[in-house]
Every structure is written in C-alpha cells, then in structure tokens.
Amino acid sequence: MSIFSSLFGRLSLIVILVSIASSTALFAMTEWIVRTEFREQMARSVDTDIAGLADIYISGGATELRRRISDRLELQSPDDKRYYLLASPSGRAIIGNVDSWPELSSENSEAGFFRLADGTQIFARATQLNPDLKLLVGRDTQARSALLARIRIAFLGAGILMVMIFSMIGYYSTRRLKGRLGSMNDAFREIGTGNLAATIPVDQRGDELDQLSRHSNAMIGRLASLVSAHRDISDHTAHELRTPLMHLDNRLITAIGQSKDPLHSETLGWARQDIRDIIQMLDSLLDIASSRAQKGDRSGLSPCDVSEIATEMAELFAESAEDLGISFGTDIAPGVQMMANPAHIQRILSNLLDNALKYTPKGGTAELALRPGPVIVVRDNGPGIPENMREKIFERFVRVDASGAKGHGLGLALSQALAERNGLVITCRDAEPGALFEIRPERSG
C-alpha cells in the first residue's frame, strides 16, 4: 500500500497542498504589497525631486537648472542612483544621464516604468517646464528587485521545508496507522475464517481506533456466544427429535414382526419409511445450518484430489446410468487439486449426478466434466429447469415439479451450502436441452 493510498495519507497530501497554496497566496500578497509600497515611495521621491527642480527653474532659469542637474549627477551615490533628462520639445537631450526620451507624456506629467538601453528598469515622471523645455526625473528599481528576489528565496525555502515536514509527518503517521490497521485486518481475516476466538489488538492509546477495537472485540464475543448457543440448541434439538423417532422406528419393527396381517404390515412399513424420511430431512437441515455457519472456516479442509473423487463418482453412477438406459459420459482432467473436505465434494457430486439421472429420460445422455480451477460440470439433456427457477432451486424446500417429485427439496440447498463451506459456488444454466450445473471457486467471475 502506497503512502497516499490510505485515508490518513490522503489527508496529509491535502494538508501539504493547502500549505503550498497558502504559501503561494501569501507570497503573491507580499510581493504585491512590496511592489505597491516601492512604487509609492519612488513616486514620492521622484515627485519631491521634480518639484525642487521646477522651483529652481522658476527662480534661476534654465542655466541654473542645468547646473543643479549636473551637480546632482556628479554627487549621487551608487546605492541611490538617480536619472535626469532635460530635453527640448522634440526629445533632444540637453543634459542628463538618459540617452533618449521615453514614452512618457510631459504635458500630462505622466509617470511609469521604462528600460534603458542596458536593460535597467527605471521609474520616472515627466513634466513640461515651458513650451520649449521638458524634464524627466527617475529612480532605478534595483533595490526593489533585490528585495523581491530575497522574498522569493525565503518563501521558496520555507515552502520546501514545510512540504518536507508535512511529508515526513504524513509518512511516519501513515506507517504507524498502517501497522495498526494491518493488525486489525489480520484479526478480522482470522475471524472471517471462523476463528471466533481471535481478538483485535488494543494499543491502549485511548484513541478512536482503540475504541473501535474494543467495540469490535465485544461484538465478536457476543457473536461467538450466539453461535455457540445456536450450535448447542441445534445439537440438543436434533438429539431430542432423533431419539424418540428411533424408538418409534424400533417399535414399528417389533410390531411388523408380530403382525400376521399383510395389509397391516405394509401400512407399518409405510410408517417406518415416513420416519426415515423425517430423520433424513432433519439431518439435511442440520447439515445445511452447520455448513453455512462454517462458511469461510478453513479448518477441516485439506488438500484433496478432485480428479480422483470425480473418477470414483463417475464409475459409481455409470452403472446406475446403464441400468436406466442412459448414456453417461465423462471428461475428467487428471491431477486437479484443491483445499476441501473430500466427503463434501463426494456428497455434492452425488446429489448433482443423482438429480441428472433422475430427470434424464431413457435413451438420454448425462455427462460429468472436470477441468483445472477446479470447474466441475454436470450436464443432462432432460426437461431442464425454467429460467425463473435457476436460483430458487438452491433454497430449502424448493422443487421444480412439486406435484410429482419425491423428497423434500433439500438436496440442492445442501449441495450449495457444502460448496460454500469449501469456497465453491454452484450455478445452474440451460444446457439446450437439459440442465447444466457448474461448480467453480467463489472468487471466479
């Protein structure tokens, strides 16, 4: 599992992205404030300077203005370089350190940025002193650019550091959370296999996961108690019902032996058959309940050769098919293995093959096929099963032909329960003609 595939990892990623977005927004706001403040400062400085030079021009004329501009150019500091240009209306330079007049309107006292030939960016304002003379005063933006560069570096460094910190926090927190959730998942997986004695570890941190673990353990304990009580009741009920039925069967045997009336003996024999049917039905219901309760429980399963079991069942039913005048074919792949209870596989195949022969008319065909997977197919060309019954037939007491069929409708329900107990599932399809029953692992599509 990757770091950000967990819920906490995705939360850490969101926090990192929000931090980056917040840092970017804060940097943009800071840069805008710095640019605006610098522009205002430069505008005030330029306006003060240009106002002073305008006063000099008014009081001393153009000659005095040129002398003062020359003095300022000679005495200016490299750290605070200023730019001046006194020019004619056409833009021809009279004095100054700007080579040409920029695209700034002196008539409107326009202010703005422009670049010198060497690429230096200048903020300046132009003004018209008289119809034949105009003045430009400017400041370079080097200090502002340097400050902005330092701000960018600071924000970039802080952003990288913040991302690293949140990434490390997210990584180690996710690893620790993954370990705790992994332990919980392992425990749930063990419980899912039927081991209700397993418990979910509690770290004693007192957080939400500990609460979940405690509540889950309490629920599992309650479930284990209910399952145990259910099994006790089922076993007790089966014993209490089977015992008097067996006693009644023994009494009927005695009565048959003492009876001298053939009709009376025949009636008692029918009664005995009814008792055996009830006992068989009771055993089937208990087997269904037990198999469903143990679904997913891997205990009791062992490696078994499905090919060998299928071959034995095919040999057994081939004789019955021959007696019934039914053509019985097989297509069994050798060496097919799986983890299962061999007795369950035998019982499933016995029920399906018995149904196939029961509903296949004389002269018809039935087939048992096995291929790796395992995938077991039992097919016949009998009357088939209506589409609306192909799922219902796996329910208890459901029969396709309830009017004439023998039995209680538990065979397929028991087969499905046994299949699920061994990690398999049975489906029914149309064999065109007839019915096709397919057994395959539950995880297969």
Instruction: Provide the CA 364 distance to its chain's centre, in angstroms.
Output: 50
- Domain assignments of the chain as residue spans, ordered by start: 7-146, 208-294, 302-441
Residue 445 has pLDDT above 50, yes or no: no
Half-sphere exposure of 182 (CA within 13 A, CB side): 8
Residue 135 has pLDDT above 90, yes or no: yes
- Looking at per-residue pLDDT, the higher value among 245 and 317 belongs to 317
pLDDT of residue 237: 66
Q: Which of the given ranges, 149-158, 236-245, 276-285, 397-406, has the highest pLDDT on average? A: 149-158
User: 7-146 — its CATH code?
Assistant: 3.30.450
Superfamily assignment of 302-441 in CATH? Answer: Histidine kinase-like ATPase, C-terminal domain (3.30.565.10)
- Looking at per-residue pLDDT, the higher value among 221 and 428 belongs to 428
Q: Of the ranges 140-154, 235-249, 302-316, 410-424, which one carries the lowest mean pLDDT score?
A: 235-249
| Residues in Cβ contact with 417 at an 8 Å cutoff, skipping those fewer than 6 apart | 287, 288, 291, 292, 295
pLDDT band at 444 (very low <50, low <70, confident <90, very high): very low
- Looking at per-residue pLDDT, the higher value among 182 and 296 belongs to 182
178-194 pLDDT, tens digit each: 777 777 787 777 776 66
* Average pLDDT over all residues of the chain: 81
- Looking at per-residue pLDDT, the higher value among 224 and 140 belongs to 140
343-395 pLDDT, tens digit each: 889 989 998 999 899 888 899 999 999 999 899 999 999 888 888 888 888 88
Residue 293 has pLDDT above 70, yes or no: no
Residue 145 has pLDDT above 80, yes or no: no
pLDDT of residue 414: 83
Q: Strand order in 375-380's β-sheet?
A: 327-332, 365-371, 375-380, 435-441, 424-430
- Looking at per-residue pLDDT, the higher value among 153 and 367 belongs to 367
45 sits in the region (left: phi over 0; alpha: psi -120 to 50; else beta) called alpha
pLDDT of residue 292: 65
297-319 pLDDT, tens digit each: 666 788 999 999 999 999 999 98
Q: Which CATH class is domain 208-294?
A: mainly alpha
- Looking at per-residue pLDDT, the higher value among 236 and 163 belongs to 163
pLDDT band at 134 (very low <50, low <70, confident <90, very high): very high
Q: What is the mean pLDDT of residues 31-36?
A: 82
55-101 pLDDT, tens digit each: 998 998 988 989 998 888 888 777 778 899 999 988 888 999 888 89
pLDDT band at 162 (very low <50, low <70, confident <90, very high): confident
pLDDT of residue 225: 77
Q: What is the dihedral of CA 187, 191, 196, 201, to 10 degrees?
A: 10
